[in-house]
Chains A and B, each alone.
Chain A
Amino acid sequence: MKCSVCGAPAQVEVRRRNRAFCAEHYREWFVRETRRNIKRHRMIRPQDRLLAAVSGGKDSLVLWSVLSQLGYEAVGLHIQLGIGDYSRRALETTRVFAAAHGLELIVVDVRESFGLTIPELARATGRAACSGCGLSKRYLMNRVAEDEGFNVVATGHNLDDEAATLLGNVSHWQLDALVRQGPMLAERPGLARRIKPLYTFTEREVAAYAFLAGISYQHEECLHAEGAKSLLYKELLNRLETRMPGTKQVFLDQYLKKVQPALRDHSGEAEVELRRCERCGSVTTGAVCAHCKLWDRAYARAKKRHLLPPEAGFDPQPKLHFLTRAEP
């Protein structure tokens, strides 16, 4: 197979586009496509302040790297989940990457901030680790953005993530989630704009970029990811993709283009009124936000089981560590 640009031996095939690229032209194509995604949706505008959620996995490090190549200055936010060695190595990978590229990084440790690690939170609430983990991550991204004056939060979601989420939402006809899903969620007072500049790349394409750009990322998976439904949806979609190239892209694109607007019209689009959480001051729909509710419940149960001392109280203020460019 030959590079569609220069005719040299190809290293990556992008079947859904009928193209193949050598290493150099693949990287160029990837960066150009990302820029196009950003422009198409006006994801980033002059004066924006950007926070990039970086886990240490390939998607977030590729995102951070490409954003900086495109001239966007994004500060990284890494959330320490406290999932044993996996989390320690994730932080190490992220720190090394930030230092090597001269990027600024904010680290928040869930246990230091709120008193329990994600596995302890799961034990205390009796809910799956991913549910508390996902909620805490979303909360922290927005909270840190608001406290530190960032109006945009970028995440590394790729086409496989988005198509798998869509398949999950469609299988259960989760209309609220379907209406909200997309490459960009608009900014509202107290809520940062959420953008996913890599949403058109398959996961294989992101991995290929990371490899060819020499980005060393964490390959190891969180042990809770195993058996996650998202993985099953991804495998199913990949089986379709292998037989019918372009399936994932068409599934997502056509949903966003044809179905979502109709759904929006019918859902009345009455934007829910937002107010401030009585506990933490973050934007929410009820009196107390879902994050404070979750942690208050966890504290009550953790005290009963003597995981926390009886006088412990949940303090919703996250504690931030700033690793500036100079720090090795």
Chain B
Amino acid sequence: MKVVLRTPQKETRQLEGPLTVAEMLKELGIDPEGVIVARGSDLLTPDARLDDADEVEVIQAISGGAK
């Protein structure tokens, strides 16, 4: 599957499916609490299944600095 990281720089990774979203993040070493994962215009929960044909986006949620 194709994983586009926006954390926040754009990067692309290829991973072998099938995987759940939680497993995919684990493989990428990303803390699930700091990101949202999207497929098209939908967001995915950690248990969602991904296979090789899928393309997902991992979008960073946390930001730094003083507000």
Contact = CB atoms under 8 A, between A and B. Distances in A.
Interface of A: 1, 10-13, 20, 23, 53, 55, 57-59, 130, 133-134, 137, 155-157, 160-161, 202-204, 206-208, 211-212, 219-222, 224-226, 228, 230-231, 234-235, 238-239, 241-242
B64 interface: yes
B59 A157 contact: no
Given A23-B43, A219-B6, A57 B63 contact: yes
A212 B33 contact: no
Contact of B45 (A11, A137, A228): A11
Interface string B46-67: 1110000000000111111111
Interface size class on chain B is: 20 to 34
Contacts, number: 97
Contacts of B63: 57-58, 203, 221, 225, 231
A157 B65 contact: no
Residue among B35, B47, B65 with max Cβ neighbours from chain A (10 Å): B65
Given A11-B45, A12-B43, A13-B46, A211 B36 contact: yes
Nearest to A212: B43
Given A202-B33, A238-B34, A130 B45 contact: no
Given A219-B6, A238-B31, A242-B33, A157 B67 contact: yes
Nearest to A20: B45
Given A202-B33, A206-B61, A221-B65, 15 more contacts: A1-B46, A1-B48, A11-B44, A20-B45, A55-B67, A57-B63, A59-B67, A130-B66, A137-B66, A204-B33, A204-B35, A207-B36, A228-B66, A234-B62, A238-B31
A160 B33 CA distance: 10
Interface of A is mostly: helix
A104 B21 CA distance: 40
Contacts of B44: 11
A231 B66 CA distance: 10
A254 B19 CA distance: 38
A11 B61 CA distance: 16
B8 interface: yes
Contacts of B43: 11-12, 23, 208, 211-212
B36 A10 contact: no
